[in-house]
Structure 1
Amino acid sequence: MEPTFFSFKDKGKGSQQALGAIGYRQGGSGFNGSLLHDFELLVLVVCAHNDDNDIHIEHCMNGEVPYQIRYIGKDELKNWVASGENREIIHCFFHGEVIWDIGGEVKALRQELADFGGSMSESRKLKEFAKFLQTYVEAKQYTRNLDYMDAYFSVLQALKYYARIELIDQGIAPDKSVWEQIRSFNTVVYKLFNELTDSQETLEQRIELVLLACEFFVMSRMEDCCSVLLRILGSRKEPWSIQELIVLPELAHVKEELPMVIRKLVYRSLVKQTAHASGDHARDGREIRYWV
């Protein structure tokens, strides 16, 4: 990939403060994926800031070669790695070629995200566990209704989130091809995946077996996977309302699943609840609050 390919008028893109750019070229021919929008080449321009997190895309031409430019803030990249969102962009960011880099900031950011440690790892684990819990509960409901095809789909999704947690435990940021990533570790979840997808048992028997394993996973790993949330709940003397938790920036990536996760933590006696009287009414409007 020629660094001169993009001499950037784009380098000084106003207040976005571009730090550098990564080019990702899709191999092969034909359709090149939803992110590339059928362009062979994608250029990610990494910016110090991205105005209000707006999507900023340009379609350009260099000679006879059409390409797409996507502007993205470095904080957005960090949030997406922590939450597991926009995996295709993250894949391009990690596997593309650095076209230009002001002061080595893009390479340093890529190394920081690749190391995948500390709070970023914990946040990602909470997100994957929340999604695992959601799909596991769906699978149980479908099974109770004898709707085994939908139960199969949900439990397969639950295993995928389970696998991502196993990768995070290995210090690896989950990628798009999670089953290829986990295969070499020969973990329990990969064996369950094979049992579900390639077994001589009936569909009902396979689903029931995996659900039992998922139940054990919930019991044994909930406290560890929810460590970020539990730490927040124990960070002050006053109990928390669900709304207070939802609006916290540290939990923004799990705000959709948070009510379900909190209730499961209460059910497992990892979180306590209390009824908090609001206003002058004796019993009306009492709010449940949570603490550890």
Structure 2
Amino acid sequence: MELKNMDLLSGQSEGTAAVGAIAYSRSGERFHGSLIQDFELVVLVVCDTEEIASRIGHYKSGDLRYQIVYAGLHELKSSIITGENNNLLKCLTDGDIIWESDGTLSALREELLAFGPKLQEQKLLHEFACFLRMYVEAKRYIQEGHVVDAYYNVLEALGNWARIVLIEQGLYPDHAVWTQVRNLDRALWKLYEEMTVSSETLEQRVELALLACEFSVMSKMMDCSALLLRVLRSRREPWCMDELLHHPELKFVGEDLPLILRKLVFRSMVKESAGWPSIVEGNGREIRYWVET
């Protein structure tokens, strides 16, 4: 069946605010996954809406079985930064754009493949935010005696560290991050091996990794937080937490933003002032944040 003749060009995409569609197939292979499953063809329909209800359709045309997945443009853009939906990114990078209304999908693909400074800056902040959350959780778990939970969080933190290394090299992190980083940072790879195959106790391995994280990754805090620091410098008036959470350039960081901000304050990279009346009842004063220029 010719892709250009597929029904999705008309009836199946009506009412979805669709801006384009991508067809992804891997002939001669059976492959599995939450999005791909074992269909011969997957068609990703991208819709220009802030939110779109999850919608998947299974169809057959002649001998061809195919799946249509609908995703919001905002979700696709967010996935480029966070890397959280590898299936969507796989469709975007390796699929065929079978139609688009205004070049949006072509521009997104070009941005992802070029992996320019702006996207690198966004991904660095995201990966550092994830690293910091996992690192803090691991320290809390080990202090409370939950060694297995601490071990899991440390492995996640090391994965974020590996992605930071790749981004610093100008490489977009793949889902198989350790294959990418193995020959780029032998010390990090050695630490990962120590975590997974060492004869030391689980607690000793966690303590070793936490120590390495503290001295190696925390030194990257200013570089990884460059986007946040630039936003803080973008005006003379200090910022309240709510303003930063809703800033369009920082929305992808989400609930991890306060954690990064407080860490930057602790390291004296960001200043705080508590001279503003609180918007909630009580005698408290609102803390606002700024950076010296």
Smaller-chain TM-score range?
Answer: 0.7 to 0.9
| Separation in 2, partners of 1:26, 1:152 | 40
Q: What is residue 44 of structure 1 aligned with on the other side? A: 44
Q: What is residue 285 of structure 1 aligned with on the other side? A: 284
Q: What is residue 159 of structure 2 aligned with on the other side? A: 160
Q: CA separation of 1:51/1:276 partners in 2, compared to 1, >3 Å: closer, same or farther? A: closer
Q: CA separation of 1:118/1:76 partners in 2, compared to 1, >3 Å: closer, same or farther? A: farther
The amino acid that maps onto 2:133 is Q
The amino acid that maps onto 1:285 is G
Contact 1:23 1:43 (C-alpha < 8 Å) held by counterparts: yes
Counterparts of 1:95-106 in structure 2, within 5 Å, are: 95-96=94-95, 98=96, 100-101=98-99, 105=103, 106=105
| Separation in 2, partners of 1:141, 1:274 | 28
Counterparts of 1:94-173 in structure 2, within 5 Å, are: 94-96=93-95, 98=96, 100-101=98-99, 105=103, 106-107=105-106, 109-173=108-172
SS at match of 1:23: strand
| Separation in 2, partners of 1:46, 1:280 | 40
Deviations 1:215-257 (A, max 9, x none): 0134310000011001111111111111111111111111210
The amino acid that maps onto 1:80 is S
| Separation in 2, partners of 1:220, 1:99 | 42
Following superposition, the deviation at residue 104 of structure 1 comes to 10
SS at match of 1:33: coil
Deviations 1:129-182 (A, max 9, x none): 001000011111111122211111110000001111111112122121111221
Contact 2:81 2:122 (C-alpha < 8 Å) held by counterparts: yes
Q: CA separation of 1:180/1:27 partners in 2, compared to 1, >3 Å: closer, same or farther? A: farther
Following superposition, the deviation at residue 110 of structure 1 comes to 1.9
Q: CA separation of 1:279/1:220 partners in 2, compared to 1, >3 Å: closer, same or farther? A: closer
Q: What is residue 83 of structure 2 aligned with on the other side? A: 84
The amino acid that maps onto 2:61 is N
Following superposition, the deviation at residue 185 of structure 1 comes to 1.8
| Separation in 2, partners of 1:260, 1:242 | 11
Q: What is residue 245 of structure 1 aligned with on the other side? A: 244
2:20 aligned with 1:22: no
Contact 1:42 1:70 (C-alpha < 8 Å) held by counterparts: yes
| Separation in 2, partners of 1:142, 1:177 | 27
Counterparts of 1:169-248 in structure 2, within 5 Å, are: 169-248=168-247
Identity %: 46
SS at match of 2:237: coil
SS at match of 1:277: strand
Contact 1:143 1:151 (C-alpha < 8 Å) held by counterparts: yes
Q: What is residue 61 of structure 2 aligned with on the other side? A: 62
| Separation in 2, partners of 1:168, 1:152 | 25
| Separation in 2, partners of 1:246, 1:27 | 46
Q: CA separation of 1:240/1:280 partners in 2, compared to 1, >3 Å: closer, same or farther? A: closer
Contact 2:36 2:87 (C-alpha < 8 Å) held by counterparts: no
Q: CA separation of 1:279/1:213 partners in 2, compared to 1, >3 Å: closer, same or farther? A: closer
Q: What is residue 8 of structure 2 aligned with on the other side? A: 10
SS at match of 2:60: strand
The size of the alignment, in residue pairs, is 286
SS at match of 2:250: helix
Q: What is residue 272 of structure 1 aligned with on the other side? A: 271
Q: What is residue 35 of structure 2 aligned with on the other side? A: 35
What is the TM-score of this pair, normalised by structure 1? 0.87
The amino acid that maps onto 2:32 is N
SS at match of 1:158: helix
Following superposition, the deviation at residue 43 of structure 1 comes to 1.5
Residue segments in structure 1 that go unaligned for 5+ positions in a row: none
| Separation in 2, partners of 1:24, 1:37 | 11
SS at match of 1:100: strand
| Separation in 2, partners of 1:211, 1:280 | 39
| Separation in 2, partners of 1:199, 1:86 | 32
What is the TM-score of this pair, normalised by structure 2? 0.87
SS at match of 2:87: helix
| Separation in 1, partners of 2:158, 2:218 | 15
| Separation in 1, partners of 2:228, 2:80 | 18
Q: CA separation of 1:32/1:279 partners in 2, compared to 1, >3 Å: closer, same or farther? A: closer
Backbone CA RMSD of aligned residues: 2.7
